[in-house]
A = this chain, B = another copy of it.
Amino acid sequence: MTTRWLSPEEQRAWRAYIAASRLLEDAIDRQLQQEGGMPHLFYSVLANLSDAPDRQLRMTDLAETLKITRSRLTYAVTRLERDGLVRRENCRWDKRGSLAVLTDEGVAVLERTAPGHVETVRALLFDRLTPEQVGQLEEICTGIAQGLQGENESAAAAAEDVPWRRRSGSCSGSSPAE
């Protein structure tokens, strides 16, 4: 079949998206690097741990919610561990498992860093969006993300006998947002 190229509208949207996402991530990385000494992803690791029950999470679960590979997470946690912000513990239920635990120092760093980060996200993104646009953005991104995960999961599910997975419960938590 002959390729269906992007329409002018799609093309404009695509280019705008690329530009915006590149600029936004760069800006946020720079801010976090300066004020927190770490890239955005590492901050997200801390933020996610702080939201988790007991401030700890299994590596795979964390990687999954962050949408990154396990090896990338291993690197991040290793670095954060070296800096004393996270500690590793082995999972008692599953001897293969490894838990990343947020240390007190990690909490402190997170609390010190969060305001500047949120301020930045606000200034660069939300202050420039109307409430409707916030809703639109969420809807668009949720759909896209679902589609992208759905692929893997449905493929995986189709290849599996058991379609539902049991996972350690997450949820709740009121802490320095991300």
Question: Which residues from chain A sit less than 8 Å from chain B, CB to CB?
Answer: 3-6, 9-27, 44, 66-68, 114-115, 118-119, 121-122, 124-126, 128-129, 131, 133-145, 147-149, 177-178
Contact = CB atoms under 8 A, between A and B. Distances in A.
Contacts of A124: 144, 147-148
Contact of A20 (B13, B136, B141): B141
Contacts of A15: 178
A122 B141 CA distance: 15
Contacts of A144: 20, 23-24, 124-125, 128-129
Given A137-B140, A145-B20, A177-B11, A4 B128 contact: no
A140 B19 CA distance: 12
28 contacts: A3-B114, A3-B119, A6-B118, A9-B134, A9-B138, A10-B126, A13-B135, A13-B138, A13-B141, A14-B125, A14-B178, A16-B137, A16-B145, A17-B137, A17-B138, A18-B67, A19-B67, A20-B141, A20-B144, A21-B25, A22-B66, A22-B67, A22-B68, A23-B67, A23-B145, A24-B144, A24-B148, A128-B143
Given A20-B141, A137-B140, A177-B6, A147 B128 contact: yes
